[in-house]
Structure 1
């Protein structure tokens, strides 16, 4: 999560603690499918792994738990999130994990260091994602793999029964992030961004989470009200629209055949 772009935890949501909990839910929502793709693209136990823009550390934590002989470095520019990762998320892994204060734009890490890199929901917040991709490539070993995961907010949550007002929420979110230097529709551009960043053997996947398989509660934990509330406060979303969304969401959840669908966009490349 980069303070250089459109995501800063102290300003993006109405409550820092609630936003950290949302980030944890967001990782949990996709992890089972996501890690299968990491393995498909080459992640192996015993690899040296780096996560760029690690936030509170939940992805790195999952990797260390699932791959017990792996060592990881987590890089995070936001001091609040880096401290949270040290104190609450990654403190139990000892010398298997190092948390560094640093930027994905200039990590300060040596060339040709890591077997595998993960950059999750970071590029979409940066004004220059291609330069970030080049920095990730620089610190990978020859033959190493990087995976980049991002959203595309024209194709975010869909529901049954449908909530048409969600489109207005995502348009407001895009307007807000673009004003702050982000690219909230980056998901569809990932293969091109990796190619411009110098990666080879590029692959692309869309991974989906569905409430019929995971339950409604997983989606509630991964979304929250903090960011929409901040959009209202900052003038990007009318309060009336947020109230309409809340009312429609409540009715959707109560529907006996309700469904919630969300996607993430994942691209991998080899150095």
Structure 2
């Protein structure tokens, strides 16, 4: 089975550092994401499924706010499945069932969940449309699905501007496209939802800004693991990476510097069945 363009042991140069980066990526956007999740139906007592749940950091955050939610975590990567199970045990997070399954074939029953969250997953799949259809299938009538993804045409931006970041993102996109992913899928989310049968589709852009969130959250959510891997794979030159790092340091020295990043969110609802 093609597992897509994200495997934690292959995408970055160090697995532990990559897992920490994933944690930082959750923390960077969490406050604004949580507001949207609540707006779209997150509340205590519902049944929730997260598809592509990774190390479990999103579920941990949700459980901190809504401890009585019944959660199913679906993840195909064995390393991340084991990490999540151990993490939930260590943190004493209850009522979470972790299953090793593909988002394409979850094995879950029809009409089961009130809410589904799929975060930074579709961009890595060779067949995102059928993944969205599978999520539609397992939702209850009237249930909602939230999809969050990147669009690397507008990823990390800075002031002062760092033009060479474009080389980094082009190299990243080249790798992901070659593996069957689509790192610019953010703009396509509403159409994917409508094609999959969702109604009342809405679209949001979530922003993080260093002046609001602080530089450190950006540092934790980025890191050098993926850029270093791109150099190892020959799609980004070590010279270009070195120049990007110099420009990055110079940007941070500017007292007026800013860092901004976006995530793209689409939500859709499963139609209520006819009486």
- Taking structure 1 as the reference length, what is the TM-score of the superposition? 0.97
Aligned length: 270
Q: What's the counterpart of residue 236 of structure 1?
A: 235
Gaps spanning 5+ residues in structure 1: where?
none
For the residues of structure 2 that align with 1:155 and 1:95, how far apart are their CA atoms?
38
Gaps spanning 5+ residues in structure 2: where?
271-275
Q: What's the counterpart of residue 163 of structure 1?
A: 162
Residues 1:95 and 1:219: Cα distance change in structure 2 (over 3 Å): closer
For the residues of structure 2 that align with 1:103 and 1:184, how far apart are their CA atoms?
19
Q: What's the counterpart of residue 119 of structure 1?
A: 118
Look up the SS of the partner of 1:265 in the other structure.
strand
For the residues of structure 2 that align with 1:160 and 1:224, how far apart are their CA atoms?
19
For the residues of structure 2 that align with 1:63 and 1:194, how far apart are their CA atoms?
24
Q: What's the counterpart of residue 86 of structure 2?
A: 87
For the residues of structure 2 that align with 1:239 and 1:90, how far apart are their CA atoms?
41
Cα shift at 1:45? 1.3
Q: Is 1:110 the equivalent of 2:97?
A: no
Greater displacement, 85-94 / 230-239: 85-94
Q: What's the counterpart of residue 139 of structure 1?
A: 138
Q: Is 1:36 the equivalent of 2:35?
A: yes
Residues 1:207 and 1:94: Cα distance change in structure 2 (over 3 Å): closer
Residues 1:248 and 1:96: Cα distance change in structure 2 (over 3 Å): same
Q: What's the counterpart of residue 186 of structure 2?
A: 187
Partner deviation per Cα, 1:75-117 (whole Å, 9 max, x = no partner): 1000100100010245544541111111100000111111000
Residues 1:46 and 1:160: Cα distance change in structure 2 (over 3 Å): same
For the residues of structure 2 that align with 1:35 and 1:3, how far apart are their CA atoms?
31
Partner deviation per Cα, 1:38-73 (whole Å, 9 max, x = no partner): 111121211110000000000111111111221101
Please list, as runs of the form range in 1=range in 2, the aligned pairs for 1:42-81 lying within 5 A after superposition.
42-81=41-80
Q: Is 1:97 the equivalent of 2:96?
A: yes
- Taking structure 2 as the reference length, what is the TM-score of the superposition? 0.96
